Chains A and B, each alone.
Chain A
Amino acid sequence: MSLMYALYQPGDSWLHRLDPRAKLLFAFCGCFLLLLNKNLWLILSALALTQLALLSAGIDWKRLAWVWRITAPTMMMIAVLWVVFYPTPGEAFLSWRFLRIGIHNLAEGVAVALRIGALAFVLFFWLFSTDQTILVRSLVTLGLPYTWGLTLAMALRYIPTMTSTFRMISDAQQARGLDLSARNPIKRARAYMPITVAMLITAFRTAENLSRALQSRALGASPKRTFLRQLHLRPCDIVFMAGIVLVAVVLLWLRFTMGLGAYPLRLVG
């Protein structure tokens, strides 16, 4: 089981230096455009573009492989089910009962499946290159209340801690003879009770101590909180953001006037 608690990979490339808000804008526009899109060629180019961008920023290719490995089963399933559920309209090279497979639904299935991967990479464009503190900080500058941002940052901080607590508790209960090997899934889930109860009690103790620590460190003392790390939009960030907006508007306009991206194989209608 592969778990990555910190998606962020430290570095100092153009992508890392790019303002987090610009990256967020990219991720947002990218997702929006992709979801309106079923064209195999456009989706493939989106995949190529994001991968090249990530690689050029020095992101380890192993991380990219990890994304592919994780998304592969879903993509496979989507492609297969799409073909099964949506019989091809035109000529089919295989038809059996309700199943009609042709170039049209095959391409569409593959495109919709790859779109899942493309969405993942568009989001990882943002997440792989932005460290958690900066990420939360940028959300706060965009209007998220500070306490919400703090909550989110703390949740991220405690995920690895809670994971190791969970493992430790699971070890401790098994050492007392807890048996987790029931066959029935519901029975098996109930066998986890000694672990989950101990885990939740431990979590409450942590929460209580945490709230004391927050108060002892003057949370909410001054109405005007300052920040050690300041975010500044550089000219190139602004240019980048303007570029994203421009491209997005143009693509959207083409989508609705000429049907760019509405068909799996043809570019326009």
Chain B
Amino acid sequence: MSVVSIRNLHYAYDPLLPGGEPISVLRGVDLDVEQGEFLSLMGPTGVGKTTLCMALNGLVPQATGGHIRGSVEVLGCDPRRTPVEELAARVGIVYQDPESQLFCTTVQDEVAFGPENLGVAAQEIKERVEWALNVVGMSSYGDRSPNQLSGGEKQRVAIAASLAMMPEVLILDEPAASLDPVGRFQVFEAIEALCQQRRVTIIMVSHDAEHVAQFSDRVAVMWEGRLARVGTPSEIFFDRSLRDQVGFAIPQVSTLAMALNSRYGTAYRFTRVDEAEEALRRDIAEQQAFRKTSEVYSSGTAWPQSASANEWMHRQDGLEDFGSLIRTQDLWYEYDATIPALNGVDLSIPDNAYLAVVGQNGSGKTTLVKHFNGLLKPTRGEVWVYGRSTESATVGELAHQVGYVFQNPDHQIFCATTWEEIAFGPRNLGLAPETVRARVSEALETFSLTPYAETPPAVLGYGLRRKVSIAAVYAMRPQILILDEPSIGLDWRSTQELMARVDELHDQGHTIILVTHDMRLVAEYTRQTLVMHEGGVLTYGPTEVVLCQTEQLKQAQIAPPQIARLAGRLTDLGFNGQALSVEGFCVAYGELWEGKA
């Protein structure tokens, strides 16, 4: 029986600007979801995924207004005619932003809020709260305030709060977008437990192809207001024309499978690391058994030792002539003079570096990079930028050299037009009006924002706001560009476009510092990697070296990209540290296959 059934659904928001056009978002969506199914919804930023989710619980159109056409049926109700609060008991929804959906003062009250509204008896509420917190593994947090939870914990509480109403359908809108790998894993684990133990129907929006492949039964891809295709993960990820058209992310191992298929004529269709391992192991083992040469490979090539990275790190220590742009010496920082956030960071970042800063939530990444533009001053130790100590420099002075793009674009946007927004920084630098104009036009051009020059940036979609916030910093022409988690909430294609721009800047000689949780970006773009852990530097070196230091990465709770993990699992067959990218892996595979070491 279909739990959700949508036929030819059209929806348009009312215009945001007075006298504007209605914003047509859904243009003929058809979808059926079965009881107990786990469906993932993918698609570019701004395509209408959130809108579709809200159409399932009645917020669209009851709370958002606008025009609607077509039919929606959820659990036999029409969400347009059923009051939202009535349907809420049967259709739970968890939103992307954890901050605005935890509104009570303790975790316990948060989870109890839904059942209380439904008029459930106090004793039963108590049982439900215990049960729901237990499902998401948060039983011991009942008395905490949401302000004292990490991002991953917050999202798990939000899921528990939905669960306590015993919904038959649970909708999750990018539940793990801003979490570190550990937080993400916790959230997905909680969702999986639900789906398997209670047969709750799950509809999840996510850009995270690897988790989508691992957990979902079916994947729906949204494009231009419609569902372009609905199918199993391997059908979707191996549909090349769909991918070229929509540009969604696919798991790295699937990219690998396609590369192997096209190069060696194999027919791999794996979407998960364990599938890939199994398939490759079987084939290579057969081949090797056939030629009995496996011993040559199993012992010979070793992983690069962590010593080499340490050596690289130490080589730079105290070397003035190394051309280091930013240097820190014994840098300590405490918030409010009590909360330690950095303890003794020694670091030297060379000119024209392309540095990735990775680490868990709360490991001190943001705290560290805020020292580079003077927003924070060391509690102890010193930081030099261009040979000048930041102690005496103001943020405004450093803004000439160091640009900082904050994690949330909404923390910068305030002007009435995009043009003004981008001009704000250059004007603060005291540039002449002609120069400002030239810079703004160039920035608009570079980030393809010219059509929006006269629109208020705050009403643009998330992806465009992200671009505006980067363009606004770019227009200041900083020699050093710091990007704090730029890819959050962006789809795969926009991320690639953005990184291509950043790559160009690097080629022009700018120094790039990228704070991120996305290890694929680290592997594919950056040259150096800095791993932060509990306020200190765990390791620092060339990216390809750091990504092989499995011990350190494990300690910092960072999962290497899928291919690196796969290669790590297959070392006994002879894969080595070169096999970190799709290209490298293909080469290694070819050598193993043909028997040339």
Would A and B touch once assembled, by the CB under 8 A criterion?
A: yes
Is A145 close to B, CB under 8 A? no
Instruction: Return chain A residues, CB-CB under 8 Å to B147.
Output: 5, 157, 160-161
Stretch from A99-107, A219-227, A248-256 contacting the other chain: A219-227
Taking a contact as CB atoms closer than 8 A, the residue among B85, B145, B162, B425 that contacts A221 in the complex is: B85
Instruction: Return chain A residues, CB-CB under 8 Å to B370.
Output: 171
Instruction: Return chain B residues, CB-CB under 8 Å to A50.
Output: none
A-B contact pairs, 29 of them (CB 8 A): A133-B105, A165-B411, A171-B370, A171-B406, A172-B406, A173-B412, A173-B414, A175-B406, A195-B414, A198-B411, A205-B410, A209-B95, A214-B103, A216-B57, A216-B88, A217-B161, A218-B88, A218-B117, A218-B165, A220-B117, A221-B88, A221-B89, A221-B117, A221-B118, A221-B119, A225-B119, A226-B125, A227-B116, A228-B129
In the complex, A160 Cα to B57 Cα: how many Å?
31
Is A228 touching B424 in the complex (CB atoms < 8 A)? Answer: no
A66, chain B: closest CB distance, angstroms? 14
Instruction: Return chain A residues, CB-CB under 8 Å to B93.
Output: 216
Q: Mark B451-475, 1 if CB is under 8 A from A, else 0.
A: 0000000100000000000001100
- CB within 8 Å of B: which A212-252 residues: 212-230
- CB within 8 Å of A: which B135-175 residues: 145-147, 161-162, 165
In the complex, A197 Cα to B456 Cα: how many Å?
13
Is B217 close to A, CB under 8 A? no
Stretch from A27-35, A88-96, A176-184 contacting the other chain: A176-184
Taking a contact as CB atoms closer than 8 A, the residue among A154, A223, A224 that contacts B103 in the complex is: A154
Is B241 close to A, CB under 8 A? no
- CB within 8 Å of A: which B85-101 residues: 85-86, 88-89, 92-93, 95, 97, 99-101
Instruction: Return chain A residues, CB-CB under 8 Å to B105.
Output: 131-133, 153, 156-157
Q: Mark B358-383, 1 if CB is under 8 A from A, else 0.
A: 00000000000010010100000000
> Chain B residue with minimal CB distance to A195?
B414
Q: Which 5 pairs from chain A and chain B are nearest by CB?
A: A177-B428, A222-B119, A209-B100, A197-B414, A213-B101
Q: Mark A191-216, 1 if CB is under 8 A from B, else 0.
A: 00111011001100110011111111
Instruction: Return chain A residues, CB-CB under 8 Å to B109.
Output: 133, 228-229
Is A217 touching B429 in the complex (CB atoms < 8 A)? Answer: no
In the complex, A174 Cα to B412 Cα: how many Å?
10
A contacts, CB < 8 Å to B: 5-6, 131-133, 153-154, 156-158, 160-161, 165, 168-169, 171-179, 193-195, 197-198, 201-202, 205-206, 209-230
Instruction: Return chain A residues, CB-CB under 8 Å to B59.
Output: 212, 215-216
Instruction: Return chain A residues, CB-CB under 8 Å to B115.
Output: 226, 228
Instruction: Return chain B residues, CB-CB under 8 Å to A160.
Output: 147
B contacts, CB < 8 Å to A: 54, 57, 59, 63, 83-86, 88-89, 92-93, 95, 97, 99-101, 103-106, 108-109, 112-122, 125-126, 129, 145-147, 161-162, 165, 370, 373, 375, 395-396, 399, 402-404, 406, 408, 410-414, 424-425, 428-429, 458, 472-473, 476
In the complex, A172 Cα to B403 Cα: how many Å?
10
In the complex, A143 Cα to B26 Cα: how many Å?
46
Instruction: Return chain B residues, CB-CB under 8 Å to A215.
Output: 59, 63, 84-85, 88
* B116, B402, B412: most-surrounded residue (chain A CB, <10 A): B116
Instruction: Return chain A residues, CB-CB under 8 Å to B402.
Output: 175
In the complex, A172 Cα to B162 Cα: how many Å?
34
Is B119 touching A228 in the complex (CB atoms < 8 A)? Answer: no
Taking a contact as CB atoms closer than 8 A, the residue among A158, A165, A194, A209 that contacts B424 in the complex is: A194
Instruction: Return chain A residues, CB-CB under 8 Å to B101.
Output: 209-210, 213
A189, chain B: closest CB distance, angstroms? 16
> Chain A residue with minimal CB distance to B428?
A177
Is B120 touching A226 in the complex (CB atoms < 8 A)? Answer: yes
Instruction: Return chain B residues, CB-CB under 8 Å to A211.
Output: 63
B222, chain A: closest CB distance, angstroms? 20
Instruction: Return chain B residues, CB-CB under 8 Å to A226.
Output: 115-116, 119-122, 125
Is A179 touching B112 in the complex (CB atoms < 8 A)? Answer: no
In the complex, A64 Cα to B476 Cα: how many Å?
49
A217, chain B: closest CB distance, angstroms? 5
In the complex, A153 Cα to B145 Cα: how many Å?
12
Is B428 touching A176 in the complex (CB atoms < 8 A)? Answer: yes
> Chain B residue with minimal CB distance to A229?
B109
Instruction: Return chain B residues, CB-CB under 8 Å to A133.
Output: 104-106, 109
Is A202 touching B396 in the complex (CB atoms < 8 A)? Answer: no
Contact A179:B63 (CB < 8 A) given known A212-B54, A222-B119, A228-B108:
no
> Chain A residue with minimal CB distance to B427?
A177
Instruction: Return chain A residues, CB-CB under 8 Å to B425.
Output: 176-177
Instruction: Return chain B residues, CB-CB under 8 Å to A158.
Output: 103
